[in-house]
C-alpha cells in the first residue's frame, strides 16, 4: 500500500521534471515552488529549506525531497544501506541526520556531491567500518557523529580531507584498535572524546596527528597502564580528562611528558599514590582534579612547584594525611577540595600561604578538633576564606562532637 502511494507521488520527484511537458504553465509554477514538494509523511519548511522525516519507519529515503534541501532529518527510521545513488540529487545539503537507523553499510562515494555538508550524524547505527574515501571531499564538514555503532577499528585515512572538522564523536563503539594514520587530515580538530570503547592502550601514534587538539577526553576505558610519552606532538593540548579508568593504578613519571596542560583531570581511577612526579613538567597547570581515587597521602616534596595552580580537587579519595609543606609550591592556590576523605586534620602549615586560599571543602572527614584546626575558627581564619560544603564536623574528642564552627566558638572561645 505504502509503496503504491509512493509511486503515485513520483510526479513531484525532481528526476521526473520532464512531466512539465504535459502540464500547463501555471501548474508548472506551482510545481517548481518548493512549498509544494514534500514527501507525504515528512514535514518541510520552504523558508529554511529543511525536511524532517523523523520516526516514520521509512525503509528507504522517501521520494519527493526537494533538491534544494539544506537540512534533512531522516533519524529514527529503518534505513539500512547508503550508496552513491541515494543523495546524489541533493547537492546543497548542509546538515544530514541519519541517526538511529539500521545502517550497516556506507559505500565509498556516497557523499561525493554533498560538498556543502557541515554536519553528518550517524549516531546509533550498525556501522562496522569507515572505509578510506567514504567522506572524501567533505571539506566543509565540521561535525561528524559516529558514536554508538559497531566500529571495531578505525583504519588509516578514514577521515582524510576533513580539515575543517571541529568535533568528532566515536564513543560507544567496541573499538579495539585505532590505526596510526586514522586521524591524518583532521587538521582543525580541537576537541576529541574517546569513550566507552574496548581500547586497552592510549592510541599515541594516531593522536599525534591532531595538531590543533586543545581538549582530549578519554572516558570509561579499560586502560590499566600509561606508557612514558603517551601523548606526543600535542603541543596545543591544554585540557586532558581521564575519567573512569577503574584499572589505572599508577601514573608513571614520564607518562604526561611533552604536554603543556592547564587543566588535568584524572578521576574515578584506582590510583593509589599521589602522581607528583608525573606532574613535574606541567608548570602552567591551573586546575587539577584527582578526585575518586585511592590516594592516601600527600607527602612533603611530592608536589613540585605549580606556580599557576588555582584549584586542586581531591574529593572522595582515601586521604589520611597531608604533610606539612605539602603545598608550598602552590603559590596561587585559591580552592582546595578534600571533602569525603579520611583526614583527621588539615594544618595551615601545608599551604604556601593560607591567606591566599579563598575556598575550602573539608566536609565528610573524621576531623579531630584540636589545636591543629584552630586556624579555621571564625575569628582566626584568613579573612577571605569561605568554607564551601557542609560545615566540617568534629568526630573527636568526644566532648567536642558536632559542627566545627559551633563547637569551637563555645568551647575554645579564642576571643576571650
Ligand X SMILES: *[C@@H]1O[C@H](CO)[C@@H](O)[C@H](O)[C@H]1NC(C)=O
Cβ at position 22, least distance to ligand X in Å:
28
> Of 154, 146, 153, 95, which Cα lies nearest the Cα of 125?
146
284 is a contact residue toward ligand X (CB under 6 A): yes
What DSSP designation does 392 have? P
35 grid coordinates: 512549498
For residue 267, the surrounding DSSP H or E stretch is strand 263-269
The nearer residue to ligand X, 17 or 270, going by C-beta atoms, is: 270
Q: Give the C-alpha separation, 73 to 38, whole Å.
A: 13
* Peptide bond before residue 277 is cis, with ω within 30 degrees of 0: no
90 is a contact residue toward ligand X (CB under 6 A): no
Q: Give the C-alpha separation, 19 to 3, whole Å.
A: 21
Helices (H) and strands (E) in the chain, counts: 5, 25
247 is a contact residue toward ligand X (CB under 6 A): yes
The nearer residue to ligand X, 16 or 176, going by C-beta atoms, is: 176
The nearer residue to ligand X, 16 or 35, going by C-beta atoms, is: 16
176 is a contact residue toward ligand X (CB under 6 A): yes
Cβ at position 27, least distance to ligand X in Å:
29
Residue of 406, 410, 413, 414 that binds ligand X (CB under 6 A): 406
Cβ at position 253, least distance to ligand X in Å:
20
Q: Can you say whether residue 295 is alpha, beta or left, with left for phi > 0 and alpha for psi between -120 and 50 degrees?
A: beta
Q: Give the C-alpha separation, 345 to 117, whole Å.
A: 58
313 is a contact residue toward ligand X (CB under 6 A): yes
152 is a contact residue toward ligand X (CB under 6 A): yes
Selected range binding ligand X among 40-48, 63-71, 264-272, 381-389, rule: CB under 6 A: 264-272
Q: 260: exposed, middle or buried (C-beta count within 10 Å: 0-12, 13-18, 19+)?
A: middle
Selected range binding ligand X among 26-34, 48-56, 238-246, 324-332, rule: CB under 6 A: 238-246
For the segment 356-395, give every residue that binds ligand X (CB under 6 A): 391
Residue of 10, 43, 85, 355 that binds ligand X (CB under 6 A): 85
For residue 29, the surrounding DSSP H or E stretch is helix 25-32
Question: Rule CB under 6 A: which residues touch ligand X?
Answer: 60-61, 79, 81-83, 85-86, 115-116, 140, 152, 174, 176, 198, 238, 243, 246-247, 260, 262, 265, 267-268, 270, 284, 289, 291-292, 313, 391, 402-403, 406
Amino acid at each position: 500500500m505504502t509503496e503504491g502511494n509512493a509511486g503515485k507521488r513520483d510526479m513531484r520527484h525532481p528526476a521526473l521534471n520532464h512531466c512539465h511537458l504535459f502540464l500547463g504553465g501555471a501548474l508548472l509554477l506551482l510545481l517548481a515552488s518548493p512549498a509544494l514538494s514534500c514527501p507525504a509523511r515528512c514535514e518541510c519548511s520552504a523558508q529554511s529549506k529543511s525536511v524532517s522525516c523523523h520516526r516514520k519507519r521509512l525503509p528507504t529515503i522517501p521520494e519527493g525531497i526537494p533538491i534544494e534541501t539544506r537540512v534533512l532529518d531522516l533519524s529514527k527510521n529503518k534505513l539500512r544501506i547508503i550508496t552513491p545513488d541515494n543523495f546524489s540529487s541533493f547537492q546543497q545539503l548542509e546538515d544530514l541526520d541519519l541517526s538511529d537507523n539500521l545502517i550497516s553499510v556506507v559505500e565509498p562515494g556516497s557523499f561525493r556531491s554533498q560538498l556543502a555538508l557541515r554536519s553528518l550524524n550517524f549516531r546509533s547505527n550498525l556501522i562496522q567500518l569507515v572505509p578510506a574515501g567514504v567522506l572524501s571531499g567533505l571539506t566543509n564538514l565540521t561535525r561528524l557523529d559516529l558514536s554508538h555503532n559497531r566500529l571495531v577499528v578505525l583504519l588509516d585515512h578514514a577521515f582524510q580531507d576533513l580539515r575543517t572538522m571541529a568535533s568528532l564523536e566515536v564513543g560507544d563503539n567496541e573499538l579495539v584498535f585505532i590505526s596510526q594514520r586514522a586521524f591524518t587530515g583532521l587538521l582543525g580538530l580541537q576537541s576529541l572524546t574517546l569513550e566507552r570503547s574496548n581500547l586497552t592502550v592510549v592510541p599515541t601514534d594516531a593522536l599525534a596527528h591532531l595538531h590543533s587538539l586543545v581538549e582530549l577526553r578519554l572516558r570509561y576505558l579499560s586502560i590499566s597502564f600509561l606508557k612514558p610519552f603517551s601523548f606526543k606532538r600535542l603541543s596545543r593540548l591544554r585540557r586532558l580528562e581521564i575519567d573512569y579508568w577503574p584499572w589505572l593504578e599508577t601514573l608513571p613519571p614520564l607518562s604526561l611528558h611533552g604536554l603543556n596542560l592547564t587543566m588535568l583531570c584524572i578521576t574515578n581511577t584506582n590510583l593509589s599514590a599521589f602522581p607528583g612526579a608525573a606532574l613535574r613538567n606541567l608548570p602552567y597547570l591551573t586546575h587539577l582534579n584527582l578526585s575518586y581515587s585511592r590516594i592516601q597521602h600527600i607527602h612533603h616534596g611530592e608536589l613540585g612547584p605549580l606556580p599557576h595552580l588555582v584549584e586542586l580537587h581531591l574529593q572522595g579519595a582515601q586521604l589520611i594525611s597531608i604533610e606539612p609543606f605539602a603545598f608550598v609550591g602552590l603559590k596561587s592556590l585559591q580552592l582546595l577540595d578534600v571533602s569525603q576523605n579520611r583526614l583527621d586534620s588539615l594544618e595551615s602549615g601545608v599551604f604556601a600561604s593560607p591567606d591566599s586560599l579563598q575556598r575550602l571543602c573539608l566536609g565528610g572527614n573524621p576531623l579531630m578538633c584540636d589545636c591543629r584546626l584552630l586556624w579555621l575558627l571564625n575569628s582566626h581564619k584568613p579573612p577571605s576564606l569561605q568554607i564551601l560544603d557542609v560545615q566540617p564536623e568534629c568526630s573527636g574528642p568526644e566532648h567536642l562532637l558536632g559542627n566545627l564552627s559551633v563547637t569551637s566558638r563555645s568551647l575554645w572561645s579564642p576571643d576571650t
